[in-house]
Amino acid sequence: MSSLTFVLPIVIVAVVVLVGFAIRRGQRSIHAALSSGDEPFTMVAVSQAFDPDYAILWDTQFPALHLVEQAGRHGLPLKCLLMWYADSTLRYPELYDGSSFGGWLEYLQREGLVKRKGRHIIITSEGQEFLHYRIATKAAIAA
């Protein structure tokens, strides 16, 4: 019993230190992704997304907007959005070539679809309207 009372506090301290290390590492990776010096993400403007010739380019962005919307009023942690972005760059390398997570996020903010709230991203009312319009339009086209 006495060896357990000696070892248990050491184990607890070690776990706390490891968790702190993991949190700091995650924060550094998000900061690095946001401050990348790559070219800014460029695509078509939101207004062009209503044109059938350009709308298909936006189809790759809707899952991200939907993910942010589903996170609710508190928003989606940047880390989750960064993971989505990394996966999307693997699926559509030609679309994201030369851009960074930070540039892509700035683009969505510039277009008024999302905004940053601390370490979270929330969808704007314009972003919600845009997402719902495009979903309804795609459903109407498919029908």
Planar angle of CA 19, 87, 45, nearest 5 degrees: 120
For residue 116, give the CATH number of its domain: 1.10.10.10
In a domain, 18, yes or no: no
In a domain, 94, yes or no: yes
- Domains of the chain: total: 1
What residues make up the domain containing 69? 36-142
47 C-beta neighbours (distance < 10 Å), count: 9
For each of the chain's 143 residues, which pLDDT tens digit applies?
A: 566 666 655 656 555 555 555 556 655 555 555 555 555 555 555 555 556 555 556 677 888 999 999 999 999 999 999 999 999 889 888 888 888 899 889 989 988 999 999 999 999 999 998 888 877 766 555 55
In a domain, 90, yes or no: yes
Residue type, 5: T
